[in-house]
Structure 1
Amino acid sequence: MEIRIATEDDAAEALAVYSRYIGTPITFEYELPSVGEFARRIRSTLAEYPYLVYTEEERVRGYAYAHRLAEREAYRWGAELSVYLDSGVTSRGIGRVLYGVLIGLLKQQGVRTVYGCVTTPNPRSERLHEKLGFRRIGTLRRAGFKCGAWHDVTWFEKEIAAYDVPPPELIPFSRIAPEQIRGILGEYNAAPARH
């Protein structure tokens, strides 16, 4: 079992994980993207934010990534997180560990607040955020239409660093020192049994 930084070569296996969600309201995307499009998303994300994969027996069984909360410049110190797991690894704490590693990496970049957006009700995802210390900050009622119904989305937030004024510039993930990344990944990979 290993958590590592994703590469474009992981696109097909990560897409296979994502495919189990495409017919559900957990994602609001209607059509499953191509492998090429998924590889482009991984590459694009990694230029600015972490993109992680969780592997078992050298096969991608889950992934998590971050992206900017919103387009305007003033939002750049916040990041929205996403995690997707293969059905065989849910309810084993893998989502919690992926989020923990992701947050550790985002702290190195200078992110101050992380957010989760959950189609609700979704008890597993809601519990994940609550156990990690996120607080529920609001629900957008009937925000999306999928699978023949309107669905609410609930936002969660967690402060992960001090709000100094002015904040230092956010460091793109592609410029974080490899030894810092290895150190954060190593905390999990050196002792997976405790997770």
Structure 2
Amino acid sequence: MTRGGSAMEHMVTIRPATEADAPALAAIYAPYVRDTAITFEYEPPTAEGFAARMRSTLAFYPYVVAELDGLPVGYAYASVFKGRPAYDWAVETSIYVARGYAGRGIGRALHDALEHALTAQGVLNMYACIAVPHGEDDETLTRNSQQFHEHLGYRLVGEFELCGYKGGRWYNMVWMEKMIGEHRADQPPVKPFLEIAASAAGR
């Protein structure tokens, strides 16, 4: 799809994900579950469970992988914001970069690819649900993700206090929002990502 990372020694390639990526992406996600409060999940999913999640996402939304020298080092995807038809033009986004690869522009490259794909679908609102500390940062959670999204053009919509309990501590959660399209009275429907990708490939 795209290449990026001018500050990196090697180029990062962003490409569409497939279910074959599930073991590698599950391995990227697992330390976030085990060692941090970045995700409020308690147990890392198996590769099979991760593949099932990917299958559900890929049925309609984009899912992209970042590769560095052929090695998956991050991924991003969009998912249903709310299960009501009036919310069809809004999505929730998720981005994970492999431990040890932060600060190399990988997260930004993933988000740029995701935003481009969502814009092509006709999505208008991108939302990020982000775990944040209640008070001071700790060793498992900071406000870095919130600040990262601010740099991407998101605005803070609201903060929920003490709504997540993990590792014997209570954490807050913030919702952030980015508008990426025009809101019209005669809004056309959002198209499935695979339909958009197939159309682009046939040009």
Provide the TM-score with structure 2 as the length reference. Answer: 0.86
Q: Following the alignment from structure 2 to structure 1, what is the Cα–Cα distance between the partners of residues 152 and 62?
A: 19
1:173 to 193, 196, 201: 193
Question: Offset of 1:105 from its aligned partner?
Answer: 0.4
Q: Following the alignment from structure 2 to structure 1, what is the Cα–Cα distance between the partners of residues 27 and 157?
A: 32
1:159 to 157, 176, 179: 179
- Is 1:94 the counterpart of 2:81? The answer is no
Q: Following the alignment from structure 1 to structure 2, what is the Cα–Cα distance between the partners of residues 60 and 179?
A: 26
Percent identity (aligned): 42
Q: State the secondary structure of the residue aligned to 1:40.
A: helix
> What stretches of structure 1 move > 4 A for 4+ residues in a row?
none
2:170 to 138, 150, 172: 150
Residue type of the alignment partner of 1:99: H
2:71 to 38, 53, 59: 59
List gaps (5 residues or longer) in structure 2: 1-11, 134-141
1:32 to 36, 44, 51: 44
Q: Following the alignment from structure 1 to structure 2, what is the Cα–Cα distance between the partners of residues 179 and 91?
A: 34
Q: In the alignment, which residue of structure 2 is the partner of 1:103?
A: 115
Q: In the alignment, which residue of structure 1 is the partner of 2:25?
A: 14
Deviations 1:111-132 (A, max 9, x none): 0110111111433211211111
- Listed as ranges, the matches of 1:67-146 within 5 Å are 67-121=79-133, 122-146=142-166
Shift in CA distance, 177/14, structure 1 to aligned 2, threshold 3 Å: closer
Bigger drift between 118-127 and 101-110 goes to 118-127
Q: RMSD of aligned C-alpha atoms?
A: 1.6
Residue type of the alignment partner of 1:13: A
Q: Following the alignment from structure 2 to structure 1, what is the Cα–Cα distance between the partners of residues 30 and 71?
A: 15
Question: How many pairs are equivalent?
Answer: 183
Question: Offset of 1:166 from its aligned partner?
Answer: 2.4
Question: Offset of 1:179 from its aligned partner?
Answer: 5.8
2:55 to 43, 48, 56: 43
Conservation of the 8 A alpha-carbon contact between 1:79 and 1:115: yes
Conservation of the 8 A alpha-carbon contact between 1:6 and 1:53: yes
Q: State the secondary structure of the residue aligned to 1:176.
A: helix
Q: State the secondary structure of the residue aligned to 2:39.
A: coil
Conservation of the 8 A alpha-carbon contact between 1:105 and 1:181: no
Q: State the secondary structure of the residue aligned to 1:20.
A: helix
Residue type of the alignment partner of 1:132: L
